[in-house]
């Protein structure tokens, strides 16, 4: 951890700052100069027909850039946006994982490893010795843990979310939609998981896809409350597709496959949305999907099904009675033992915050373009500081300093990024 410095910067954007941009960058040699600064910028696509906000971590998988809600979301809401371009791994139209000087979306230069947050000392792909040099840690570009990805939209259980390592996030998400672009080395001789053809209702092997898939899933209780020495815990993962009847099921199952970017028409986009009501969450993805065509995938998951909850679903104490509380134990490790008590006690509350983008500071590299982020709130709910009108994005200072679907709420208020706003935002700030 002492081998580099991390710089972070945050700033509010949108009407009354309802959105926050949060960025993270690594100073590899600790000389006060960030080698590759993540960038947020407004661009115009398709011959000035569409303005988008582009997230670009600038060829450094240790950088992070997200958009999030500044304040906690209300008890009931719908958050949605449009995705116009995604380039965070996957194959090109010729089926190659290597193109344009990149491998699965990562630049070819230098090593790309998970250092200093590996998969656990007993996991494959490295010796498990934390004193190993950077390049000897597990590679994210290729090898048995090689993968890329992007969080289309996630709901998390804590305030002020910011880019962090992937293991931190594996314990903090409630419901989400993401991409998981595995390198063929990671797939190996296995199927790599399954992808649902929502038109036929049948699965095909992930290895037969473009590796540009959409996962729609919910987090459950940890897979184990006491991992084996050298292992790591995380919330269990329950995937929802049309092929499993909209029932959350264990095992990697993608709900859809994105079209190759060059096959989309100039003004085509994908839309992603998450809703919360008094009984559960709804996940929604729409667009021109590979092998399927235009489709809206919409799945509702109650907070608890057959004694299996969505992790930290309660946004207020009255929604939960403490029945899933437990201690998390990590014992007999080479570097000691720790017990984290009361991971979900009675009287607790976990207000919702949404995040979009590159959350991880040890994995993920690429860029994406999006527009029209909107929050819908029922008019019967209190909505402090929120307004249905649009406002221009301010340009911040860049000076360096050290299975039953729900319906969308009626009588909605809308908040969005202004289509005419222009900003070029570069991450640098206090360590």
Report pLDDT digits (tens) over 382-430.
Answer: 333 333 222 222 222 222 222 333 333 333 333 333 322 222 222 222 2
- In this prediction, residue 227 carries a pLDDT of 83
Q: Could you give the CA distance from residue 324 to residue 311 in angstroms, rounded to a whole number?
A: 9
Phi-psi region of 37 (alpha: psi -120 to 50; beta: other; left: phi over 0): beta
Q: Which of 52, 22, 66, 73 is nearest to 413 (CA)?
A: 73
User: In this predicted structure, which of 146-150, 327-331, 364-368, 393-397 has the lowest mean pLDDT?
Assistant: 393-397
325 or 125, greater pLDDT: 325
Instruction: Give the three-class secondary structure for 43.
Output: strand
Identify the band that residue 335 occupies on the pLDDT scale cut at 50, 70 and 90: low
169, 359 Cβ separation under 8 angstroms: yes
Lowest mean pLDDT among 196-210, 305-319, 326-340, 407-421: 407-421
CA 261 to centroid of chain Cα atoms: 20
- pLDDT for 405 equals 32
Element housing 187 (H / E)? helix 184-187
Buried b vs exposed e over 186-203: b needs ≥16 C-beta within 10 Å? bbeeeebbbbbbbeeeeb
* Confidence band, pLDDT 50/70/90 cuts, at residue 330: confident
pLDDT at 112 over 70: yes
Give the strand pairing for 253-254 and 194-197.
parallel
Q: Residue 131: pLDDT above 50? A: yes
Q: What integer best gives the mean pLDDT of the chain?
A: 85
How buried is residue 305: exposed, middle or buried, by Cβ count under 10 Å (0-12/13-18/19+)?
middle
Confidence of residue 366 (pLDDT cuts 50, 70, 90): very high
pLDDT at 127: 82
Question: Bridge partners of 257?
Answer: 213
Cis peptide leading into residue 321 (ω within 30°): no
Count Cα atoms within 13 angstroms, Cβ side, for 324. Answer: 19
Containing 215, the helix (H) or strand (E) segment is strand 213-222
Strand partners, 26: 6
Q: Taking CA 267 as the corner, what is the angle to CA 261 and CA 271, rounded to the nearest 5 degrees? A: 75
For 61, 103, 246, 312, the CA distances from 140, given in Å and listed in that order, are 9, 10, 31, 29
0.95 exceeded by pTM: no
């Amino acid at each position: 951890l002492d081998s580099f410095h991390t710089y972070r910067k945050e700033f509010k954007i949108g009407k009354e700052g309802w959105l926050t941009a949060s960025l993270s960058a690594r100073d590899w040699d600790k000389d006060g100069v960030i080698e590759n600064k993540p960038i947020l910028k407004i661009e115009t696509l398709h011959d000035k027909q569409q303005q988008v906000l582009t997230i670009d971590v600038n060829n450094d998988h240790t950088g992070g850039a997200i958009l999030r809600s500044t304040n906690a979301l209300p008890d009931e809401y719908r958050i949605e946006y449009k995705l116009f371009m995604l380039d965070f791994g996957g194959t090109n139209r010729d089926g190659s994982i290597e193109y344009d000087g990149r491998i699965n979306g990562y630049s070819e230069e230098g090593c790309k490893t998970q250092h200093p947050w590996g998969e656990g000392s007993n996991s494959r792909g490295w010796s498990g010795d934390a004193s190993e040099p950077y390049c000897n840690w597990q590679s994210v570009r290729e090898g048995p843990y090689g993968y890329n990805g992007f969080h289309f939209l996630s709901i998390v259980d804590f305030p002020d979310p910011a880019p962090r390592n992937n293991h931190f996030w594996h314990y903090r998400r409630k419901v989400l939609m993401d991409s998981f672009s595995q390198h063929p080395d990671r797939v190996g001789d296995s199927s790599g998981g399954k992808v649902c053809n929502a038109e036929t209702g049948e699965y095909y092997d992930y290895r037969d896809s473009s590796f540009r898939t959409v996962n729609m899933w919910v987090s459950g209780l940890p897979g184990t409350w006491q991992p084996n020495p050298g292992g790591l815990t995380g919330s269990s993962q329950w995937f929802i597709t049309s092929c499993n009847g909209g029932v959350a099921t264990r095992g990697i199952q993608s709900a859809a496959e994105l079209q190759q970017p060059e096959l989309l028409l100039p003004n085509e986009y994908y839309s992603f949305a998450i809703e919360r009501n008094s009984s559960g969450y709804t996940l929604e993805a729409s667009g021109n999907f590979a092998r399927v065509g235009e489709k809206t995938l919409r799945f509702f998951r109650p907070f608890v099904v057959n004694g299996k909850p969505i992790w930290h679903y309660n946004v207020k104490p009255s929604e939960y009675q403490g029945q899933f509380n437990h201690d998390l134990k990590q014992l007999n490790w080479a570097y000691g033992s720790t017990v984290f008590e009361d991971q979900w006690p009675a009287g607790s509350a976990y207000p919702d915050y949404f995040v979009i983008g590159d959350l991880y500071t040890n994995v993920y590299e690429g860029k994406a373009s999006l527009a029209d982020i909107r929050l819908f709130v029922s008019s019967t709910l209190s909505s402090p500081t929120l307004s249905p009108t649009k406002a221009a994005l301010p340009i911040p200072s860049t000076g360096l300093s050290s299975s039953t679907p729900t319906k969308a709420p009626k009588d909605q208020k809308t908040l969005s990024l202004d289509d005419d706003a222009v900003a070029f935002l570069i991450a640098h700030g206090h360590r």
